[in-house]
Amino acid sequence: MERFTKSYNKYKQTLGLILPTVPLLTYEAFSHFTWGNQPNAWDFRSHMTIKSIKYFMQLGSEYTVEQVQKITTRESNILHPNQWIINQPVPLSGHTDQVKDAVNKACTALGEGLDKIDAAEVAAVDGEWTAYRTMTADTSDWSAEKKFAAMESELESDAVVLYLHGGAYYLCSPVTHRDLVSALARQFKGKCFSLKYRLAPQASFPSQITDALLAYMWLIDPPAGALHKPVPPEKIVIAGDSAGGGLTAGVLLTILQSGLPRPAGVITLSPWVDLSHSFESSITNAVTDYLPELGAKHRHKASKAWAADGSQYHFYAPNEAVIHPLVSPVTAKSWEGAPPMLVIIGEGERLRDEGLFFAQQAAQSGVDVNVQLYEAMPHVFQLLRGHPSARRSFMEMGKFVTRVTGGTSEESGARHWIDGRGEIGPLADEQYRIGFTRDEVIERIRNSVEKWGSQEMLEQKI
């Protein structure tokens, strides 16, 4: 009886979330085939997916942060026979002091007068090796060592992507991003290490940078007994989507500032590089994106993890630190010395302008930047599996990893526009240029943070 009650309550809760979407999706389906108020690049499946995600994201304010975290970080029981998934702890090993010193140095040096921010305590974290799998044998009872050897036997590339998942720094895990990461690994015929970094608000800035840097150094110099052999930095690409894209940029700044060996390249998908949402597209693209229309301040029920008392408006960092380059990389003074970058952005996403500005600033610092803008696509549109734009973006990521890790000499430093059919062409100057200076962006961020506590903002809902 107890088992029946638990199952009933579980399905009752699920139905309670799904049933309210029926009228909404019915309306959206009808509109798709009648007056067609969606972008031409959206097919029916994409339209329904985007509107469904937006609905579920708006439900967040009805739950505590712990409840939402539990939903988005739980282990999946869904088996994917074409994915290698091998759990892997990242121990402290001998890099603790090195990592802490590097993050401390970057926090202080890049702060430009901001009060000193102490690096978070370095902690052991977890992650998982991910690769595309062709083997059909049942490996469920194999040891991690045996699985890793079998995975390696199927790979053609010795490149490794260190992947940092998105989720606004407080949601998701490698589990939620397995499809994306394994699809990327398939494109360059290598393996990815997907990091389960600590989440805010339980662990806030710079904990996530500390975790990512620890994983990077662990890849380069693993302790005895590790599954992998040392990976040269010129064979490592750091990649991430959304908050993971911002974290990728922050880790890169830390590496450059501290003099640690730089990776072969970085990939950012829809990077969140302005924590304040101060650019115009955060408002003008609200209709064509699924991100909440008010992303600056978290709206969750008060809980042990988040008192919601108004003293701090963001989970990841205190108000005064939002302007810090490690938190909002659009404020970085220079990207000189950075490795090649691939910046992929959706034209219809709310983070479009900040992603373009980030790419421009890096290019102006002499960095080899390949920026790609995809017609009408929303935030992290790679989740729209099967859409021509998503397929094209995975192909481009695979080509980039192969190029920067030494496989080819394909075009670099390019600007591309990709239409709704996945066809690639040049990106026009008027689509690329944002028109702000760094000082103007810093002032806009300051103004945005000041408005967070205004009555106008407090009365808005996501």
The two three-digit tokens of residue 284, written as one number: 């003008």
Residue in the structure block whose two tokens are 């103004």: 447
Using omega within 30 degrees of 0 as the cis cutoff, is the peptide bond preceding 201 cis?
Answer: yes
Q: Give yes or no: 207 in active site.
A: no
Residue with tokens 């996530």: 208
Tokens of 144: 């991690």
Looking up tokens 């490794």 gives 160
Q: What is the distance between the alpha carbons of residues 132 and 134, in angstroms, rounded to a whole number?
A: 7
Terminal Cα-to-Cα distance of the chain (whole angstroms): 40
Q: 447 CB contacts (<8 Å, ≥6 apart)?
A: 278
CB atoms within 10 A of CB 299: 14
CA–CA distance, 83 with 314 (Å, rounded to integer): 35
Going across the sheet that includes 265-269, the strands are 83-90, 125-132, 191-196, 160-164, 236-241, 265-269, 341-346, 369-374, 415-418, 424-426
Q: 178 and 85 in contact (C-beta within 8 Å)?
A: yes
- 29: number of CA atoms within 13 Å, CB side? 8
Instruction: Concatenate the DSSP letters of all residues of 357-412 into one string.
Output: HHHHHHHHTT--EEEEEETT--TTGGGSTT-HHHHHHHHHHHHHHHHHTTS-----
Q: Which of 157, 194, 204, 242 is catalytic?
A: 242
Distances (CA, A) of 294 to 102, 256, 275: 34, 33, 12
What stretch of H or E contains 168? none
Residues carrying an active site annotation: 242
